[in-house]
Amino acid sequence: MSKTFAIGMAAVALAVAVPAVSLAAEVTAGADVVSAYIWRGLTYNDGVVVQPSVDVAHPSGLGLNVWGNFDMTDYDGAVDEREFSEVDLTLSYAVPIEGPVSITVGISEWLYPKEGNYTPELPEAHAAVEAKKDTDTREVYLNLGYEPMDGLALGMSLNQDIDEVEGTYGDASIAYTYEPCDKTSLEASARIGVGDKKFAEYYAGGTKGGLFDWGAKLTATYALSESTELGAFVAYTDNLNDDVFPDDAKDVDVYGGMSLYYTF
C-alpha cells in the first residue's frame, strides 16, 4: 500500500492539532503498560507492551488520536523486542447532538513499521526469504452511544476496512460506572464482537463469518490532580466460534495493566 495517505493524514493531523491547542482544545497524553497486546480477542503479543497515545479533542467535534504499541518482548519472533510494531492515526468527528445519544464517525490508518524486510535487489543474500506484503491498512467506523441513566452506557460500533482486508467487524458493549468518591471511579464493562468472512480469514484464519469474540473488563481510576489520572484494569477475553475465530489465534485469556494520563 502506498504511504501517500499516511503522510497526508499526518499532515492533516498536524494542521488540526496545532490550531486546536490554541483554540482551547483538550489534549490528553499518556501511556498504558499492559501484560499483553490483545485486539478484538486476538493475541498480538503475550508479553508486556507499552502503548503511548496522544488525543486531541476540539470543541467542534473534530478529534485526532495517535497511538502506538511498543513491544518489550519478541513474542516468539513474530515482533522485535524493544521496538514499535504498530502506530495508528485516527481522525474522528463527534456529531454535535444533545441528549443521551452520541454519534461518532472516523477513519483510522494502521501502520506496521517493521514489516517487509525482504530486499529484492540482493537475491543471493535473500534467496530463502519470502517477500512480505505491505499490511498497512485503514478502516472507517461509526460509533453509536446511548446513556439511558447516569453511569450506564450502551454502545455499538461498525468498522469497515477499505484497503488491505476489506472485511467488516462490529461490536456491542455495555458499561456501568460508579464513583464512590470525588477522585475515584470504578467501571465494569462487557462487549461482544462479530466479523464477516473476510475479517475472520485475514485476522484469525477462520473459514466463515459470525460471532467472533467477547470480553469483560474491570477498571479503576484515581485522580492524582485535576489534570493527572492513574488507572488500572483487569480483563478477560475469549473466542465464540472456532470456525470463525480458531483457538490457535489467541494465547491469552486474562490480562491487565496500568495507565497514567495527563490532560492539558
In sequence order, what DSSP letters do the residues of 13-70 get, joined into one string? Answer: HHHHHHHHHHTT-EEEEEEEEESSEEETTEEEESS-EEEEEEEEE-TTSEEEEEEEEE
Q: pLDDT > 90: what percent of the chain?
A: 79
Average pLDDT of span 199-214: 97
- Please tell me whether the overall predicted TM-score, pTM, comes out greater than 0.75 for this model: yes
pLDDT of residue 122 exceeding 70, the answer is no
Average pLDDT of span 165-192: 97
pLDDT value at residue 22: 52
Q: Do 111 and 88 meet the contact criterion of CB atoms below 8 Å apart?
A: yes
> Which grid cell is 4?
501517500
Domain spans in the chain, listed from the N-terminal domain onward: 4-263
- CATH H-level, domain 4-263: superfamily: monomeric porin ompg (2.40.160.40)
Average pLDDT of span 163-189: 97
- pLDDT 10s digits, 52-86: 999 999 999 999 999 999 999 999 888 889 999 99
pLDDT value at residue 121: 44
What is the rounded CA–CA span in Å between residue 216 and residue 220?
14
Do strands 37-39 and 137-149 pair parallel, antiparallel, or not at all (unpaired)? Answer: unpaired
> Which grid cell is 245?
475465530
Q: Do 194 and 208 meet the contact criterion of CB atoms below 8 Å apart?
A: no
pLDDT value at residue 133: 59
pLDDT value at residue 115: 63
pLDDT value at residue 191: 98
Average pLDDT of span 42-47: 96
pLDDT value at residue 113: 87
Please provide residue 28's backbone torsions phi and psi, each rounded to the nearest 5 degrees: -120, 130
